[in-house]
A and B are shown apart, each in its own frame.
Chain A
Amino acid sequence: DIQMTQSPSSLSASVGDRVTITCRASQNIRNDVGWGQQKPGKAPKRLIYGASSLLSGVPSRFTGSGYGTEFTLTISSLQPEDFATYFCLQYNSYPRTFGQGTRVEIK
Chain B
Amino acid sequence: EVQLVESGGGLVQPGESLRLSCAASGFMFSNYWMDWVRQAPGKGLEWVANINEDGSQKYYVDSVKGRFTISRDNARSSLYLQMNSLRADDTAVYYCSGRLDYWGQGVLVTVSS
Contacts and interface: CB of A to CB of B under 8 A. Distances in A.
- Chain B binds chain A: yes
Interface of A: 34, 38, 42-46, 49, 55, 87, 89, 91, 94-101
A91 B59 CA distance: 12
B98 to A, nearest CB: 10
Contact of B103 (A44, A97, A100): A44
Given A89-B45, A96-B50, A101-B44, A45 B103 contact: yes
Nearest to A38: B45
A43 B105 contact: yes
Given A94-B59, A95-B59, A101-B44, A34 B106 contact: no
Nearest to A93: B59
Contacts of B95: 43-44
A98 B103 contact: no
Contacts of B50: 96
A95 B64 CA distance: 11
Chain B interface size, under 10 / 10 to 19 / 20 to 34 / 35 or more: 10 to 19
Give 8 closest A-B pairs by Cβ, nearest first: A96-B47, A43-B103, A98-B45, A95-B61, A94-B59, A101-B44, A46-B101, A43-B105
Q: Is the interface of B mostly helix, strand, loop or mixed?
A: strand
A44 B44 CA distance: 11
Contacts of A46: 100-103
B23 to A, nearest CB: 15
Contacts of B101: 46, 49, 55
Nearest to B4: A43
Contacts of A45: 103
Contacts of B37: 44
A97 B105 CA distance: 20
Given A95-B62, A96-B35, A43 B104 contact: yes
Nearest to A45: B103
A98 B61 contact: no
B53 interface: no
Nearest to B64: A95
Interface in B14-65: 35, 37, 44-47, 50, 59-62
